[in-house]
Amino acid sequence: MPLKAKAWTLCKVLVTLGLSSSSVWGYTLTCDAQGSFPEMEKIIVKPATVEVNIKSIGNHLYIKIEGPKLYATFVNTLITEEYQGQDLTSKTSIWVKRKHIASLEETEIKITRQPVTLFASKDVQRYGKSLKFLVTGPCQLPT
């Protein structure tokens, strides 16, 4: 199938799903992240450069942090049988929170707009217990 025909087919599929170009957008930031375990201050986490992918499809936000394993995080605003998503976005930040219904583990990612800064937290199992892992750091907008 020629490229033009493939593009037209994709457009028809998106319209069929109710995803017009105006209801789908994405953005990627690069952030210098520093992770920490506030409950265990002696543990030093190596800083990392991470990519933060922000997507909006319809009324839902999806934010994914890509980087070293401990930093990798995903949140969305969907409400399913397993997860409760919540959009806390305001004039000053994009903020999404997700809770696992059975375990009550929470993950959240907040990106402030001025200055563009990443704040994230997630519950992780480390050192034989459940700990809160925090990530903070400045972000650069794509050029």
CATH of the domain at 110: 2.40.128
Number of domains in the chain: 1
**Residue in 86, 136, 98, 129 with CA at minimum distance from that of residue 115:** 136
> DSSP state, 88?
-
pLDDT (tens digit per residue) in 32-86:
999 999 998 888 899 999 999 999 998 899 999 999 999 999 999 999 999 999 9
pLDDT tens digits, one per residue of 84-112: 999 999 999 999 999 999 999 999 999 99
In a domain, 93, yes or no: yes
**Predicted TM-score (pTM) of this structure:** 0.79
Q: Say which residues have a Cβ less than 8 Å from residue 116's Cβ, sequence separation at least 6.
A: 29, 138, 139, 140, 141
On whether residue 15 sits in a domain, the answer given is no
SS3 22: helix
Q: Domain of residue 123: give its range.
A: 23-140
Containing 51, the helix (H) or strand (E) segment is: strand 48-57
